[in-house]
Amino acid sequence: MKFKSLTMAAAVAALSTVAMADDVAPKILTSNATINFTGSVTRPTCVISLNEESIALPKVATTAFKQKGDTAGDAVTFTVNLQQNADNGGQAGAACPSVSVSGATETPNIKFSLTDAGLTSDKKALANTADNSKTIGVEILNDADTVIDFSTEETAAATPSTYNVDSGALTYKARYVALADTVAEQDIKASLSFSVIYK
């Protein structure tokens, strides 16, 4: 009887050990799951913003113009901002960066888009579309006070303003110019369109 008791005790102990081992062992699942990651890395595109979309030039008397080519009134400064497109992965408010294309560094700038109807006959000023006298135009100057020649895309692009790499700003000025020796009283309306290019 004593032998049987020892045998049963050993058997119970063995069963308890197996039961504990079953409780501790990790459960192994046979199903699998997969997480897919998607994304894209792109060169930031640029968006254009203006400090003012409508610029008021000063009132000037007709007598301020003595002959063709005269300018009068204070030139009005305006700023074109070329900044990263936050909707395309860019940093909001940050300047459009220069990029390397085929080993060459290209800087963002603007391309003027003008038709003959929007220019004076010599294509060195914006035409006044609010008056038919054609005696006043609006000159555009870069930040070095050089008048931009719009006769071709190349000549216009050859007179850029200095690009501010921190703010993305390009600064220009606008002023009246006489297109004849005698100018008529008139209201002024002119437009300037442009897009972003790298060059």
In the 8-state DSSP scheme, what is residue 86? G
Region of 134 on the Ramachandran plot (φ > 0 left; ψ -120 to 50 alpha; else beta) = left
Measured distance CA(141)–CA(157) in Å, rounded: 12
- What are the tens digits of pLDDT across the range 63-122? 999 999 999 999 999 999 988 888 877 888 889 888 888 888 888 878 888 888 889 999
Measured distance CA(160)–CA(144) in Å, rounded: 9
Residues 6+ apart with CB under 8 A from 105: 98, 99
**Residue boundaries of the structural domains of the chain:** 46-198
Which of 18-32, 40-54, 96-110, 153-167 shows the lowest mean pLDDT across its residues? 18-32
Please give the structure tokens belonging to residue 51. Answer: 């400090």
Class of domain 46-198: mainly beta
- What are the tens digits of pLDDT across the range 108-134? 878 888 888 889 999 999 999 998 889
**Half-sphere exposure (Cβ direction) of 188: Cα atoms closer than 13 Å:** 27
Which residue type sits at 88? N
Question: Sorting pLDDT into bands at 50, 70 and 90, what band is 37?
Answer: confident
- What are the tens digits of pLDDT across the range 130-173? 988 899 999 999 999 999 999 888 888 888 889 888 889 999 99
The pLDDT assigned to 11 comes to 44
* Sequential DSSP letters for 105-173: EE-EEEEE---GGGB-TTSSSEE-TT-SS--EEEEEE-TT-PBPP-SSHHHHHTSPPPP-TTT-EEEEE
